[in-house]
Each structure stands twice: as C-alpha cells, then as structure tokens.
Structure 1
C-alpha cells in the first residue's frame, strides 16, 4: 500500500514551540531552510522522509505519533459529516478536508458538533417525537455521546491515569499472582474497606457503603468481573483527584456528562491496574496477541483483554495499532475505539459483510477475516461472541460480539494470521464502514443508498438491488 503525502504542520509547529525555538533556530537544527519550514507548518508542503528522520533523531520523538493519532480520527469524523446531502455542491476536496483536520482542528470539531446537532434535530422531526418543542435539548449530543467523543479524541489513552495505575500494579505485584486477595488486602490496609459477599441478589454487582466502609460484591460474579470491581473501588478512593481534574478540564456541557466521564475514568484505571501497560504489552508481543492466553495469564476476560489492546498508545511505547468494538445482536456498536486507520461510523449500522456478525453463529470460536475497505487499506479482522450474566437459570444473559484487528502490515504479530494468505489480493473481502457513506457501487449487501450517491432507476431492468448507482 502506498503511503500518502504527510501534512503535519500543526504538530511540527507545536514541537517547535515546545522547544521554545524560533523558525530560524528550528530550521537550522533539522537542516532545512526557513521558507521550507514555514511551508511545512502551514501545510503548504508535505514533510519529506529526510525531515521526519531528522525530527526523530534530534528531538527523540516517535514517528508513528506524528503520522497517526487524533488527525486520523478527526479526518474520518469530518469526512463522514461532510457526506451529508446538506453539503451538496459545497463538499470540499479530500485534500481540503485533510488541511482543516490537521491545521485547524478546533474548526473541525465545531463543524462535527454542528452536524451532530443537525442530525439529532432531523431524527426528532422524522420520528415526530413528543418531546419536540418542550426544550428537551435533544438537538445536542447526549451526555453519553459527548463522553464517548472525549475518549475517542484522547486516543482512548489517558496518560496520567495509566501511569498511576501501572505504578500501583508494580507495587502490588499485579499479574504475578491471584489478584483478588492482593486487591482486597490493599483496600482494607490502605482505605479501611472491608470486602464481603452478599447473599444472592440478581441485581447486585457491587455496592459500597461509605459510612461503614463495606464493599459488597455479588458472590456469583465471574473472577474477572469480581477483580475488576475491586479495582474500580480502588480507583474511586485512590485516584479521585486525578479523575476529577481530567473530567473537570474536559469542560462538558452537562453535569451528567461529567459524572459519566468519571465512571469511564474509573473503569480506565481499573483496566490499567489489572493489565499494567508495559507488562501487558510485552506479554502480548511474546505470545503474539493470543487472546485466550492473555486472558489466562492476567486472569481477565477476553473483552477486557481486547479493549486493553486498543489502548496501548503511550507516547514512545506504542503497541500494535488495533481497532476494537463490541456489538449487540441488533447491530448497535456499544463500545468502539480504533488506533488503526479503520474508523467506525458515528451514524448507522456496521457493514453487513464484516465478519463480526458471524460471531453470533459460532459461540466460543475466533472468526478470522482478511478485509479491504474502499480506501484500499487491508486488515486482519477477528471476532468472537461473548455472553454476560449467567448468574443462575433465571438471570438474563446479554450476548455480544467482539471485533478487533489491525492493518495487514501488522498481521505477523498475531498468531491468528499464521496460515492465512496475506499476499494474495483475492483473499481480501471488500467491506465498508457503513452503507450510508460507503463508496462501493456494486455491493449486493447494501442496505440503503449512500448519502452522496445518485440513483439510476430503470423500470425495465432489475438486479439484486432495485437501483443502480452512479460512480461517486
């Protein structure tokens, strides 16, 4: 796959400013002219390989961090928003969109927020919602969506929380022995919290009484869930200052979003404590990202392991760029994150050709797929079905499919790719992101026409689809 031109003017300018250097000083240090540096910083010229190497050598930076990260996610979200028919006749070119995402991210975020408000309003009108006209505020992002976007644009990696959790994991020896007695002992020793298991209560997972300092857990929780709840309690008591500061600085519009974010950050701390960054990443590389072995090694669930793999984005110590999602039977994406180029659609269902939907048909198995998106990028895609609940015959169970994977250039790092024909283009199945923004014109699995597609209706011909699409 050819590598496109790299426009990283904003990042270069931020690097120069962080080193308190003038353009003349910075240009001299990396061996280019002032005019060339000025053109780079204003995204008028791409960065050459020689300049990238010089930046890495002189400033000890991670090259992958320059080329990826928020710009890719922001570019994907902005591109999807601009496919809306309301922009018909005014849609900017891909290069113009890239320049805005990379050089003026605040404008890109504002445009995405405005488009989301428009979408919410349109959906309300279409469904003739009874709440219209009553000041419900549904034209804005919901608090949940606002927090989801916060983590998305943070690359799902929270540096201060991750470092604190890893330091505590090292102190307690997490990952070397059974975590439950270690975590329970720490809670009692450091926070005066006694852990007990209640009589059977199907609705209870965890309950903490601040007055009596008693943490009550459901006695029928799976070990991975039980340990996670202990780690959550440690986060609430031991990382409160860091969590409150991060959530406060996010400047959420509502108190609900702030509280939801605090829960998300507590969850993040718990995952980082049970799966400490460096130890987990080194083990994942050693056993080539075998999900079952990682789960056994750290006493975690497959979902916890898969999610953690997608958060390994520490500057200078990044893991394999992995995408991760959790999908219910109705096709709703209930968790999502991508450190890879693949970005999930913010509206609409996932592509029906994606192997994640097959996971419900083969419980307990790892489903593999070699896939190619319309932009020509190829991926190794993995999916598996999981079941939650199971605390007794009458207790409801939730069924989900987990999806994760990476660009095919990283596939050799996964045990699942060993017998797959990675070099054969015919092995890769065409998939999209969502029908509403997919560029493919000849897909028999298409559910709805693309927003930007023009339909060709022929009353005398009928194929699989009742219409044809002009080339987008």
Structure 2
C-alpha cells in the first residue's frame, strides 16, 4: 500500500491566521515545536492522525476539509496547468510552485479558476463564451481527487449488510429493492426496449433493464438505482456543495457521484484494496473476484485515497479511435496526460484498438522527465444483437513508474531502463526530432529550408 500523509500546509496556515495565532502559540497548543509547525505549513511534513484530531478538537472544524480545500486542486493539478506551452518560457520549478501555494493560496485558486475557464472556451478568450458542463463537472471531481469518503463508507456498510444475506450481489440488490422499496427488476428484450439500457417505471414499480447488458453491467445498473434511493442525502449534499450555476453540469456531476456509490457497492473499499495488494493489482483477477468489468475496475483504482489506507496513485482515461477523451480521472497521480488536448500517436494505448482483449503495456517518458507505466485494453459496450452498434473505446490506466514495481502486469519490465518518448499532443510537444509529428508546437516559429528535408516533417526555431 502506498503510504501518504495529508499535506495541508496552506489550510493550516489559514486556520492559524483566522484565529489570530502566531506559529509559536499554535505550536504550543498542539504540543509540537514551532519549527515543526513551520514545516507542516510549508507542506514539507504531513499531518499525523494525532495532530488532525487535536486540530479538530481545538478549532472545531471538519477534518475532511484538509484534503478538500487545497487551492487550485493542489500542486499536482497546478503543475498540469503550468505544463501548457503558454508558460513554457517561465521555467516555474516545483519549489517555486510550492512557495506560491504556500504564500498566496487565494491567488493560486484565482489563477486556477481563470485558467480553467479559458481552457473551457478553447483557449480563445472568455468574453461571451458559454459554460462547458463537462469541464465544470470534471473540475469538481478533481477538487475531490475523485474520492468521496462518506459515500465510500456508506457503500461499504451496505455491501457488508447485503453480503450477510446472500453471496450473489445482484440478487441481494434485487431483493432489497423489492422488499424495502417495492421495486422489481425486469429484464426486457431488445425489441421491447430498443433505445434504452435502463428505465425506471414508477407506475409499474419496475426497474427495467435491457437484455443487452452483461452481468457486470446489470449489477451496476441495479446498484445505481439503489444508490439513487439510499445514498440520496449524501449525493444531494455533494451536489449542493458544488454550487453549479449550470443545470447540465449539476446533472453530470450527480450521475458521476451516483455511479461512484454503485461502484463502491460492487467493490467495497476495504475488501477491494486488500485484493489489490494481495494480487499485485491484477485487473483480470479483480474483475472475476468482484464481478465487474474492466472499465469499472480501472475507474475504481483511481479512487483509492482513504486517509490511512491509500492505494497506488493511478490515473485512468477512455478514448475513441479519434483519440477523443470521454472519461479522464487524474486521481492522486498528478499526471499531465489526463489534461492533454490531444493524445500522442506514440503512446501505445492506440494499439489496443487492433488487439481486442489484450493488455498493452508501455513504459513512457514525457518531456519533463517524468516516467509513466501504462496499460490499456479495448472495451465494447452494449452490442451483441444484429444491427445494434457497439461503442468501442480503449481504457487506459497509468501511474508513475516509481510505483509500478508493485504491479503484477509490470513484471519482466525494466522500470529503470529505456522508456518510449511521448508527448502531450503535437501542438503541446517541443520534441524536434519526432517523425510522427502532425503539427508544429504552439508559439514556435517554423523554419523552411528549400534545400533540405529532414526526417521530421516540421522544423522550428530553437530545434
């Protein structure tokens, strides 16, 4: 298990200043040295469980806010924003960024909101731009780092309760819906429900599911319905706290957190994390053990951030054949690969489309020197009947190479050896010798020499 403390320096500094204490005075109240408190406020030491409890006792605040209120989503999210070529000439290093977060958390948050709004408008300015509900929902998910502790705890408790009554989770959910909520599940033929996968018929008191759904998807849809009923208070609180000014964004976010609960019910946190650690995060074994699909397991792996019981820091994305992103969760990985405008053609995840069912592994290195181990597999959704189109995607998981030694799928790979150079898309990549380049990088002037033709299709100033 990856053991990480809570780095909440800016939050602790604001708390101290809000109460009018000096570092020395607050350190005495906590029973630590003022130099140690300075390290905590500078994000150079994590908060221990004892200090968190002491802070909650002395200052009467919600300890969950320590991990939820990092300005700009924290240093990892800020590094992803600053990787934009717009800032390439500034050379802002990690120490400078940490100092900025430490000394001007309000300025960091203001910059993050402004930059995100700029990106939502395609980077072409903000005046007159309409809201982007998808980006707004993703920004809120990132604020929580895609970990909702209260929903996880409630889902885990419910999963234990259902497990006592039956070993078959789908059957147990169906029985609970029937007995407690007077809803029966009915599987309908494709010709009866040709354009829906799930439908709630309150008049007939039925949850109607399409026969196109495989067993894992049926369990998920049943769990989703149960989440809408039994986790409604927690879900409502999260949606209200997000304070969306846009109705579509609110509904997208609601669907995400409801799906989060459904997945947590299928893969309860404690049991799932133990299974991950004992199997080396073997995705295929996890699928069989929890009756889940590849994409469901991949998404769940990005959520394992419970304080005191953290999993490895995965990111996950889902793309189509055009490289368009339809799902992307950075989790605690801090990877810039999630926010890339385009996917690099040298990233091996694209090969998974042509090798159905096979896990495609790659050790890759970005321009900033960060190294990532990724695994990808193609997935098809809801096909299987004649004339029914099946959505086809590739789902990719990744984490920093330094953590990959714990993975069963990484065995046999020299994680310290040569890595494939990839970028964040041609317009955001400065590699001059890339023969696959489709466009020059933004902000770099092209050089055209009629007497020469290099291997790379473009040359530009400074290469």
**Cα displacement string for residues 330-356 of structure 1 (whole angstroms, at most 9, x for unaligned residues):** 101111112213223545211111111
Q: Which residue in 2 is equivalent to 1:446?
A: 437
Q: CA deviation at 1:233?
A: 0.4
Question: Would the alpha carbon gap of residues 283 and 404 (structure 1) be closer, same or farther in structure 2, given more than 3 Å must change?
Answer: same
CA distance in 1 between partners of 2:396 and 2:373 (Å): 11
Partner SS, residue 327 of structure 2? strand
| Pick aligned residue for 1:242 from 208, 216, 234 | 234
Partner SS, residue 188 of structure 1? helix
Q: Which residue in 2 is equivalent to 1:154?
A: 144
Q: Which residue in 2 is equivalent to 1:343?
A: 336
Q: Which residue in 2 is equivalent to 1:388?
A: 381
Q: Which residue in 2 is equivalent to 1:272?
A: 264
CA contact (8 A) 2:197 2:212 kept: no
Q: CA deviation at 1:19?
A: 11
Q: Which residue in 2 is equivalent to 1:79?
A: 82
CA distance in 1 between partners of 2:19 and 2:157 (Å): 29
| Pick aligned residue for 2:159 from 166, 169, 174 | 169
CA contact (8 A) 2:361 2:375 kept: yes
CA contact (8 A) 1:381 1:405 kept: yes
In the comparison of the two structures, how many residue pairs are matched? 441
CA distance in 2 between partners of 1:8 and 1:469 (Å): 43
Is 1:404 paired with 2:397? Answer: yes
**Cα displacement string for residues 5-27 of structure 1 (whole angstroms, at most 9, x for unaligned residues):** x9964144268689997521444
CA distance in 1 between partners of 2:262 and 2:160 (Å): 14
CA distance in 2 between partners of 1:152 and 1:345 (Å): 11
Is 1:261 paired with 2:264? Answer: no
Matches within 5 A, 1:191-230: 191-200=181-190, 201-230=193-222
CA contact (8 A) 1:162 1:269 kept: yes
Q: CA deviation at 1:471?
A: 4.6
Q: CA deviation at 1:450?
A: 2.2
Question: Would the alpha carbon gap of residues 279 and 7 (structure 1) be closer, same or farther in structure 2, given more than 3 Å must change?
Answer: closer
Partner SS, residue 468 of structure 1? coil
Bigger Cα displacement from structure 2, 221-230 vs 207-216: 207-216
CA contact (8 A) 1:275 1:298 kept: yes
CA distance in 1 between partners of 2:164 and 2:20 (Å): 41
CA contact (8 A) 1:77 1:112 kept: no
Q: Which residue in 2 is equivalent to 1:131?
A: none
Q: Which residue in 1 is equivalent to 2:73?
A: 70
**Cα displacement string for residues 200-221 of structure 1 (whole angstroms, at most 9, x for unaligned residues):** 2231211112343211111231
Bigger Cα displacement from structure 2, 204-213 vs 360-369: 204-213
CA distance in 2 between partners of 1:261 and 1:107 (Å): 26
Question: Would the alpha carbon gap of residues 249 and 58 (structure 1) be closer, same or farther in structure 2, given more than 3 Å must change?
Answer: closer
**Cα displacement string for residues 67-115 of structure 1 (whole angstroms, at most 9, x for unaligned residues):** 999323421343045x33xx798x5733544444455455334334434
Q: Which residue in 2 is equivalent to 1:375?
A: 368
Q: Which residue in 2 is equivalent to 1:3?
A: none
Q: Which residue in 2 is equivalent to 1:129?
A: none
Question: Would the alpha carbon gap of residues 242 and 264 (structure 1) be closer, same or farther in structure 2, given more than 3 Å must change?
Answer: same
Partner SS, residue 329 of structure 2? strand
CA distance in 2 between partners of 1:391 and 1:175 (Å): 33
Q: What are the ranges of 5 or more consecutive residues in structure 1 without an aligned counterpart?
A: 1-5, 126-135
Is 1:360 paired with 2:356? Answer: no
Bigger Cα displacement from structure 2, 443-452 vs 393-402: 443-452
Question: Would the alpha carbon gap of residues 108 and 458 (structure 1) be closer, same or farther in structure 2, given more than 3 Å must change?
Answer: farther
Alignment TM-score, normalising by the size of structure 1: 0.83
Partner SS, residue 177 of structure 1? coil
Q: What are the ranges of 5 or more consecutive residues in structure 2 without an aligned counterpart?
A: 1-5, 54-66
Question: Would the alpha carbon gap of residues 180 and 320 (structure 1) be closer, same or farther in structure 2, given more than 3 Å must change?
Answer: same
**Cα displacement string for residues 230-261 of structure 1 (whole angstroms, at most 9, x for unaligned residues):** 00100111111111111011111212221221
Matches within 5 A, 1:45-64: 47=44, 52=45, 55-56=47-48, 59=51
CA distance in 2 between partners of 1:225 and 1:156 (Å): 21
| Pick aligned residue for 2:293 from 301, 305, 322 | 301
Question: Would the alpha carbon gap of residues 60 and 357 (structure 1) be closer, same or farther in structure 2, given more than 3 Å must change?
Answer: same
**Cα displacement string for residues 420-450 of structure 1 (whole angstroms, at most 9, x for unaligned residues):** 12232x2x11122233333433322223222
CA contact (8 A) 2:435 2:457 kept: no
Partner SS, residue 257 of structure 2? helix
CA distance in 2 between partners of 1:307 and 1:176 (Å): 26
Alignment TM-score, normalising by the size of structure 2: 0.84
Bigger Cα displacement from structure 2, 400-409 vs 111-120: 111-120
Partner SS, residue 151 of structure 2? helix
Q: Which residue in 1 is equivalent to 2:23?
A: 23
Is 1:461 paired with 2:460? Answer: no
CA distance in 2 between partners of 1:458 and 1:20 (Å): 65
CA distance in 2 between partners of 1:143 and 1:32 (Å): 46
